[in-house]
Structure 1
Amino acid sequence: MRDYALFAFVIGLVPVILSWPWTGILVWYWVALMVPHSMTWGFMQSFPIAAMLGGASLIGVVIAKDRRPIPGTREIIVLGIFVAHMTLTSFFAVNQAGAWDQWIKVMKILLMTFLVPMLIYGERRILALIFVMTFSIGFYGFKGGLFAIVTGGNYSVLGPVNSFLEGNTFIGLAMIMVLPLILVSARLVYQKWVDVGWPWLQTWSKPIGLMIYASFWLTTVAILVTYSRGALLGLLAVSPFILKRMRRKWLIVSFAILGFSVIGISAPERLVARWETIETYEEDQSAMQRIQAWGANWNMAWERPFIGMGFRHAGKGYGWWSQYVNFEGAWDHVLSAHSIYFQILGQHGFVGFGIFLTLIGMTFSTLGRIRRDAVEMTGKIWLSEYAWAIQVSLVGFMAAGTFLDVGYFDLLYALIALAVILRRELDEADQSAFVPVAGAQPPKPRNPFGASGRYRAHPSRISKPSRRHPLD
């Protein structure tokens, strides 16, 4: 029954996408991140949902009358350079067949990244995309947190089967990346920052906001109970930024102290043992295998610094791989880079690695500008808050990604596309506020914070926030 219900829903989405092409972007990320067919038991597990809905989305882009040109921002330009470089490295890859197969998969992800700014603009569409991406992963955080509490944390929280997020490490990374987005979404709904034209959301804003706050805390629990050391380090990396942004820090800290004191006595032995291996990594085969893989990919990059070894070089087998390792151990050899940094280094050399880091750095810088200027120049607090959330998401990705080879994760490039969109939204909001007069210069933005330092937006620019939630 579940298979038939999903099949009918997917078929019904096709005419919707063709009628309103921008919804195809939302559907694509829903399928890519939530992987709904993984929750079925029959024919839908192998049904080409992504191909069908992706094809409908591409047709929608072609026929869309409201599409906009791809913005020529520095992020888009650098992303284009990265695409060109990955194509070059594929031509010279040591494993040609595997390289081009992976190239096609990565290009599908990046193609959608380029299409997003063409169809997603304006407050409603941007927020709809953010909600879809956030709660496609947040669904597993909510469910995983409840599961962890009910089972006392004795079983690991896992991602959807037969998907990129399968297992504990990848779903842990994904939940870390959406954690700050969940928090900002809870504030947006609870405090009614914007009116997106959905009356039911305005009417039920407080209970819905409280549910999203609950999702935030349940996702935090789920991250811990993935038993992933990478997820733990990622959570530790984003926690100071999230804590700094919260109200009533003393209450949160008090609960944290109480929680840690309890955890020190009654935490599941498996969880504590997993955390302790961070300090004793020399005795853990999994950790040493990662170090071996890092060294191998570093040596590959040194041998071919400009083009690396190309996609899926590990397909050459352990005999080829072993010539680059610094040491060997008595373990099963899973030839994975185990790190976004060494993954890009080994596959695309130092040049590709530099392009990748430049892309991340530029995105982070753009988000910083949006975060600083959005409220002062436009009164749109949601722009500033989501820019902050995406920055923290990138911090979590870079931290947890130290131990995971997820350099081509859909969500990373979706966040880059969101940064481009938010920047355009900020710039266009600035322009709309200024009516040009011959010989006149744009007025200097007033300081909405005044002498008191307390934000005071004009009523026409931002709706009055409701009472803050006591746990925020």
Structure 2
Amino acid sequence: MIDINTFNPRLQILFSVILTLVVGLLWYKTKMWLVPVVFVLTPLVLIGLLRIPFYIVITFIIFSYFRIHEAFPMMMPLRIPLAFSLASFFVLGWHIFLSNNIKIYWSTELTLVCLFLGWATFGIMFAYNKNAAFSTFSGVLSKVWVMTIAICWLVRSIHHFRIATYLYVVAGAMIGLKAISNKLEGIGLVEGTRVTISRNLGSLIGDPNDLSLVLMFPMSFTLSNLLQPNIGKLHRLLLAVAYVILFWAIIATQSRGGLMGIMTVTGYFAFKRIKNKLYIVAGAAMLLPILLVMAGVSDRSSGGAAEGGVDESAMGRIYAWMAAWGMAVANPFTGVGINNFYLNYYLFSPHWDGKNHAVHSTWFQVLAETGFVGLALLITLITMLFRRLWRTEVDSRVLPTSERNAIVTCNDGIFAGLLAFCVAGTFLTQGFTWPLYILLSMTVALAKILSERLAVEDLVKVDKEAINCTSCIK
């Protein structure tokens, strides 16, 4: 760690004099009173940022994933994601290389995610359109990669964990309220009925399927916190309101993948709390048609009741998946390259209707764009994540009730979110977006926190046994 107090006093004086002269010279030449103010405030701001690395990174992730600045365009001139991305890299670099405040560790899951993302990056060299692939890597994938590891190292306590989950809930509720408002006012509707946000600005949540994905992510954490024991009535009421907002907003997207996500999240918590599983099956059988009616899926111009047999939306997905399989067969090792499915749809689709289409499936997206190797790595990674989450819940049983409840609440939110990712991912394209990687980093961080806590418990147990042995000898 670099400490200026270890420098020679003469060097400190010389450094101070030089800095003062520089500030004075700039002020003399520019006559701008802001110059000395900036030089005074900048070190203070940087010191402040260094003290809150967790909040800097979490804020960057929330704005990048939930696109809050696009949902509320008056924030766009502030360039908040860019500002917090620069602050995040500065803070991370400082604490990793120049201080000892961050504990660096590794795990099997981090190795697998690096192999998967590394393979996707390697495939850029063989991509059909290298510019499109590199643009996605530099604009999205590289940030996701770095921040995935950053969250693992920065979430150092259950307190951090709870703050992160609640921030996701608040951000999700904000986007949900915006979606509901757009639905009620008829703003940005696709096909006349499906809600979007800032579609006119080209926002990432300007597609109803992507919007449902964004809203589904915080739903698992909302329900997990809502069902935890021993919380206040006001606390529970606010979480219930947030759940209703998210539920309503997802329904308004009329996304069948989103509806499957709702079923998955709700079903997971029902499975854990209802002993007779027949009730769950019966409830699911009744809930699904109710959700379809509430969402008004039959009113959609694509995939609605007006289309007989296999509807246009379903056939579009089938054609896209056939195209993805063709891309993988033609390029079994590296695929066609990230962000290249849409550009190569014409070359591999068995049916051409005059325009390219998205793949509408995480699994087929990864298969087409990274080949069979990439898909195998992704499936292995997700399998290891489920195993780690199961192991965390089992190991937490030896902890005191209050600590165990806190860990299980966080673990349940992640587990439900990962299940929803797998199910909804069959119909939504999210292979290289934030949800999976946030869930991964939180899984690894929670397992690390638990392992440290169990180590403390073991030491306490050993000390008690030693004291008891000493007493017996006496």
Alpha carbons of 1:178 and 1:83: their partners in 2 closer, same or farther (altered >3 Å)?
Answer: same
Q: Aligned partners of 1:268, 1:385: CA distance in 2, in Å?
A: 29
Shift of 1:29: 1.8
CA contact (8 A) 1:180 1:390 kept: yes
Deviates more, 1:350-359 or 1:80-89: 80-89
Partner in structure 1 of residue 146 of structure 2: 111
Give 1 or 2: higher helix fraction: 2
Task: Provide the residue aligned with 1:337 in structure 2.
Answer: 359
| Pairing 1:139–2:177 present | no
**CA-to-aligned-CA distance 1:78-122 (integer Å, 9 cap, x gap):** 111112211211111121111111111211111111111222211
Aligned length: 407
Asked if 2 retains the 8 angstrom alpha-carbon contact of 1:138 and 1:182, the reply is no
Q: Does 1:174 align with 2:196?
A: no
Query: What secondary structure is seen at the aligned counterpart in 1 of 2:429?
Result: coil
In the TM superposition, what is the alpha-carbon distance from 1:187 to its structure 2 partner?
4.0
> Normalised by the size of structure 2, how large is the TM-score?
0.75
Residue in 1 that maps onto 2:351: 328
Structure 1 residues 249, 122: closer, same or farther in 2, change over 3 A?
same
Q: Give the structure 2 partner of residue 233 of structure 1.
A: 260
Whether contact under 8 Å (1:138, 1:215) holds in the other structure is: yes
> Per-residue deviation at 1:346?
0.7
In 1, Cα distance between equivalents of 2:345 and 2:290: 42
Distance 1:437 1:418, change over 3 A: closer
Q: TM-score normalized by structure 1?
A: 0.75
Once the two structures are TM-superposed, the CA of residue 428 in structure 1 deviates from its matched residue by 0.6
Contact 2:196 2:208 (8 Å CA) reproduced: yes
Letter in 2 for 1:80: C
Is contact 2:365-2:431 (8 Å) kept?
yes
Aligned equivalents of 2:81 and 2:315: distance in 1? 37
The answer to whether 1:25 aligns with 2:42 is no
What is the SS of the residue equivalent to 1:407? coil
User: Which secondary structure does the structure 2 equivalent of 1:110 belong to?
Assistant: helix
What is the CA–CA distance in structure 2 between the aligned matches of 1:47 and 1:138, rounded to whole Å?
22
Cα distance 1:143–1:376, how it changes in 2: closer, same or farther (>3 A)?
Answer: farther
Q: Distance in 2 between matches of 1:62 and 1:20?
A: 14
Gap change, CA 1:146 and 1:376, over 3 Å in 2: farther
Asked if structure 1 preserves the Cα contact closer than 8 Å seen for 2:327 and 2:368, the reply is: yes
Gaps of 5+ in 1: 1-10, 193-204, 443-472
**Which of 389, 401, 404 in structure 2 is aligned with 1:367?**
389
Task: Confirm or deny: 8 A CA contact 1:296 1:324 kept in the other structure.
Answer: yes
* 1:204-215 map, 5 Å: 205-215=232-242
* C-alpha separation in 1, matches of 2:334 and 2:358: 19
SS at match of 1:313: coil
Conserved 8 A contact 1:378-1:429: no
Kept after mapping to 2: 8 A contact 1:35/1:160: no
The correspondence for 1:242, drawn from 269, 274, 279, is: 269
**Residue of structure 1 equivalent to 2:11:** none
Whichever of the two has the greater Rg, that structure is: 2
Alignment equivalent of 2:110, drawn from 63, 76, 84: 76
Distance in 1 between residues matched to 2:56 and 2:437, nearest whole Å: 17
Check conservation: 2:209, 2:258, Cα contact below 8 A: yes
- CA gap 1:214/1:248 in 2 versus in 1, 3 angstroms: farther
Distance change in 2, residues 1:116/1:374 (3 Å): same
Instruction: State the identity as a percent.
Output: 21
Q: In structure 1, what is the equivalent of residue 38 of structure 2?
A: none
The equivalent residue for 1:433 is 457
One-letter amino acid of the counterpart of residue 207, structure 2: G
1 CA distance for matches of 2:263 and 2:207?
21
Partner of 1:404: 428
Contact 1:378 / 1:426 at 8 angstroms: preserved in 2?
no
What is the alpha-carbon distance in structure 2 between the residues aligned to residue 208 and residue 313 of structure 1? Answer: 45
Equivalent-residue separation in structure 2 for 1:282 and 1:15 (angstroms): 63
Distance change in 2, residues 1:183/1:147 (3 Å): farther
CA gap of 1:77–1:223, structure 2 versus 1, over 3 A, is same
> Is 1:272 matched up with 2:294?
no
Cα contact 2:124–2:134 (8 A) shared by 1: yes
What is the CA distance between 1:305 and its match in structure 2? Answer: 1.0
1:226–1:180 CA distance, 2 compared to 1 (3 A): same
Instruction: After TM superposition, give the deviation of residue 347 of structure 1 in Å.
Output: 0.7
Which of 217, 223, 227 is 2:244 aligned to? 217
Give the equivalent residue in structure 2 for 1:158: 196
